[in-house]
């Protein structure tokens, strides 16, 4: 019986910029940052109130065993900002929107009320889009 999820992957083309974004701007914590002999960097972060879900920020072009076609597909998707990676929860969407906007985070627009809560859509600037949601 599977009961919980412990790791998810967000693909990025620049892990250093990803570390800056998720840690310095969103306030996530680095859980692990190690490098293997072949250059593969295992970088994971966790959200402040969710230390048991590691988000692996991986570069699909470096160290992973993808063939050139797959690598080109990932590169295209990330460069075009075509990946929607998930939904972040916040206790107050409008306050977090103001804070992240002040830190230079890109949003598709101001927070809007939806039937499930208040939501704004943000990008990590590395190809991934997220909803940031304050549930009702």
Partner 1 sequence: MPIAPEVYKKIVTAKLYIDECFHEPIDLDRIAREACLSRFHFHRLFTSIYRLTPHQYLTRKRIEQARKALAGKTLTVTEICAEVGFESIGSFSTLFKKTIGHAPNNYRQQEWQKNVQAREQPRSFIPHCFIETCTKSNSQEE
Pairwise CA distance, residues 20 & 46, whole Å: 13
Binding mask 65-94 for partner 1 (x = CB under 8 A): xxx-----------------------xx-x
- By CB under 8 A, tell whether 112 contacts partner 1: no
- Count H helices and E strands in the chain, helices first: 3, 9
C-alpha dihedral (46, 78, 98, 56), degrees to nearest 10? 0
- By CB under 8 A, tell whether 24 contacts partner 1: no
Q: What angle do CA 79, 80, 82 make, to 5 degrees?
A: 115
- By CB under 8 A, tell whether 98 contacts partner 1: yes
Among 8, 33, 76, 87, binds partner 1 (CB under 8 A): 33
Count of Cβ atoms closer than 10 Å to residue 59 Cβ = 22
Smallest distance, partner 1 to C-beta of residue 20, A: 15
Interface contacts to partner 1, rule CB under 8 A: 7, 32-36, 38, 40, 42, 56, 58, 63-67, 91-92, 94-95, 98-99, 102
């Amino acid at each position: 019986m599977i009961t919980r999820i412990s790791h998810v992957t967000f693909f990025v083309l620049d892990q250093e910029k990803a570390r800056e974004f998720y840690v310095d701007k969103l306030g996530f914590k680095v859980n692990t940052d190690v490098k293997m002999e072949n250059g593969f960097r295992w970088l994971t972060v966790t959200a402040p109130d969710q230390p048991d879900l590691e988000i692996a920020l991986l570069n699909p072009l470096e160290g992973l065993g993808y063939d050139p076609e797959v690598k080109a597909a990932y590169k295209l998707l990330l460069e075009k900002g075509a990946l929607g990676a998930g939904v972040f929860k916040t206790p107050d969407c409008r306050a977090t929107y103001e804070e992240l906007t002040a830190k230079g985070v890109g949003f598709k627009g101001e927070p809007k009320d939806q039937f499930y809560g208040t939501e704004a859509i943000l990008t990590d600037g590395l190809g991934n889009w997220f909803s940031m949601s304050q549930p009702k």
